[in-house]
Amino acid sequence: MMTVKLTQKKAAGQSDNGGSSRGMMRRVNALSLNPTAISARLTAQSIAIWQLVVKSVVTSTNDIVRDYDAKGEGHGVAVMAEEQTRGRGRRGRIWHSPAGANLYCSSGWHFSGPVEALSGLSLSVGAMVAEAVMEVCGADLQLKWPNDLYAGDQKVGGVLIEMLGARDNAQSAVIGIGLNVSMSADDGALIDRPWTDLATASRRDIDRNELASAVLNQLAEGLAQIDQQGCVPWLNLWRRRDYLKGRSIVIDGSPPVAGIAAGVSDSGALLIETESGLQEVSGGEASVLEMGALR
Ligand code: BTN
């Protein structure tokens, strides 16, 4: 059964992020995250799976899921917050998380089977989120290996998976998703790479509650499917949105690997056509090597 926890109060500045000077005229993202509105759009499968927790301010929604997991209540908890004070991204980066502007969502899931079967999980989750975004905003996002969501040449979201280890024959994971929905230029000023938000990319006002429901519905279906069939069906969807494919790229590391991006393997590794042949890279950061581009 789904438990809705009304731990919400209005976040500071929540209805004051309109009129941004970024791109198109931005209207106020007036709707708070509302557990009742989110629940109203959940599918029967989602309702059976998620225990929805909506908070005003947290350090990181991933932290809250970890707390639930420590109490043995991690599987099926879905935590959203209006604001994160210590939102984190991949590779120790900060995930800028101003109040009332975006979607910060973390879910707990216990996967049966070996951890090796989950090497494509973060890519798969990216594909699920892209499907949810398409459904709600009509924006056809691309996916930049390994876990960035892109609109055009700008980052609009990301996925941060934290594996918590094995318990009772299950792999416990925290699946964190951040989506820029309607963020002012001031709020985004500290982001050190090209970024955009879904309101700009889709030229629409976005109802964050509708987006939250769509993400949870995709996750409910997709994670259950991964448990049964593994990640390959989702990797196939990821491949249709591959931002890097055919581009000249370099992966940082020692030594760096440079070549032409050639898709991903069935374990989610990046394939690169290099001067010495096809190489697989399973970790690192890809930068596009094009005139004027550092993405
Ligand atoms: C990245 O692109 O580096 C991943 C960003 C992930 C951000 C989300 S927001 C919800 C969850 N809580 C966090 O602290 N991080 C993830």
What three-state secondary structure class fits 275? Answer: coil
Instruction: Give distance in angstroms: CA of 164 to centre of ligand 1.
Output: 16
Domain ranges of the chain: 4-239, 248-288
How many Cα atoms occupy the beta-carbon half-sphere of 35 within 13 Å? 20
Instruction: Give distance in angstroms: CA of 279 to centre of ligand 1.
Output: 28
pLDDT in tens, the chain (295 residues): 444 543 443 333 333 222 233 333 444 455 899 999 999 999 999 999 999 999 999 999 999 999 999 999 999 999 999 999 999 999 999 999 999 999 999 999 999 989 999 999 999 999 999 999 999 999 999 999 999 999 999 999 999 999 999 988 899 999 999 999 999 999 899 898 999 999 999 999 999 999 999 999 999 999 999 999 999 999 999 999 999 999 999 999 888 999 999 999 999 999 999 999 999 999 888 999 875 454 5
Tell whether ligand 1 has an atom less than 6 A from the beta carbon of residue 234.
no
Q: Determine the CATH number of domain 4-239.
A: 3.30.930.10
What's the chain's length in residues? 295
pTM for the structure as a whole:
0.90
* Measured distance CA(64)–CA(51) in Å, rounded: 13
Tell whether ligand 1 has an atom less than 6 A from the beta carbon of residue 95.
yes
CATH topology of domain 248-288: SH3 type barrels. (2.30.30)
Instruction: Give distance in angstroms: CA of 157 to centre of ligand 1.
Output: 8
